[in-house]
A and B are shown apart, each in its own frame.
Chain A
């Protein structure tokens, strides 16, 4: 691989562009493929196979050839509502998993840069904050404030926009009340039941990093069911 190709790969990754790396295993030539374009030069005769692998988001060697295809898709986008203690640990886990994180919290004393260095923190109410976030089918919501004023509008937005994972922190009682409010707001049972509440898988832990771990574990497992 040429250094130039590596630099281009990293540039595409940081700009969240979807692409594939094509490698000729015989001579070491490699090239970047963008969906919707025709593969160049020696890769052009495998255009159909490359497109199919890309569409199925798979990596592999094309049958009866020496061409290896590796696809890169957009990272999972995780929106956290509530710049609370648990969120600080979620950010730590999410970094090694390459999730793209945004945090929403209208409370200025929580949403400080000093508490969340290098993370997009939006110090606004959810309704305005969502205007600044581009969403897609790989977007997840983690609501952590257990304050209906802040969490509910975010949950409603996530349900309407069909986020693939929606979780909300709070006790069983808190969650029952939340479901009640969502029903009154006109959401169906199926929609309400799609919310993971109380959030996280059962690990038994009660500390902030343990709760963050249980949330991230649930998020990863739901990502593979997508």
Chain B
């Protein structure tokens, strides 16, 4: 039933594109254990690092933003990122809730 309560992130993505911004779309594609946002949750990031939407409860958004900025800088089409509690950077970006998520980021071009 998720889509009944859709968050209109894609509409916002189009507004940003119409304003000539480079936009990267981040989507939760897999989750394991307890994770705050379900599969299909979305977030968008532009080249300035502005973002809207979410892929977790605030745990990994900053890391997703920097990954998205690298994607724009290196001009790569897409990338899959996994976040686990056991990540070395757990203190900074790990999921405090103990879950794991895979986030797919892609440029809208």
Given that A1-B25, A70-B27, A70-B40 are known contacts, is A6 also in contact with B104, CB under 8 Å in the complex?
no
Q: Shortest CB–CB separation between residue B38 and chain A, in angstroms? A: 8
**Interface stretch of the complex, out of A21-29, A128-136, A190-198:** A21-29
**Residues of chain A at the chain B interface (Cβ within 8 Å):** 1-3, 6-7, 9-10, 13, 23, 25, 27-28, 30, 57, 59-61, 68, 70-73, 75-76, 97-99, 138, 220, 223-224, 226
- Whether a CB of chain A sits under 8 angstroms from the CB of B11 is yes
Of chain A, the residue at the smallest CB distance from B42 is A70
CB distance B4 to A6 under 8 Å? no
Since A28-B77, A57-B3, A68-B29 are in contact, a sample of 11 more A-B pairs with Cβ atoms closer than 8 Å, ordered by chain A residue number, is A2-B108, A9-B10, A10-B11, A13-B10, A23-B106, A25-B29, A30-B106, A68-B104, A70-B40, A75-B3, A223-B1
B2 touches A59 (CB 8 A): yes
Q: Secondary structure of the B side of the interface?
A: mixed
Enumerate B1-41 residues with CB–CB distance to A below 8 Å.
1-8, 10-11, 13-14, 17, 25, 27, 29-30, 38-40
- How many of B's residues come within 8 Å of A, CB to CB? 28
A70, B39: Cα distance in complex, Å: 9
Bound-state CA distance A57–B5 (Å) is: 14
- Residues from chain B with Cβ under 8 Å of A73 in the complex: 1, 3-4
Known: A3-B108, A25-B29. A10 touches B39 (CB 8 A): no
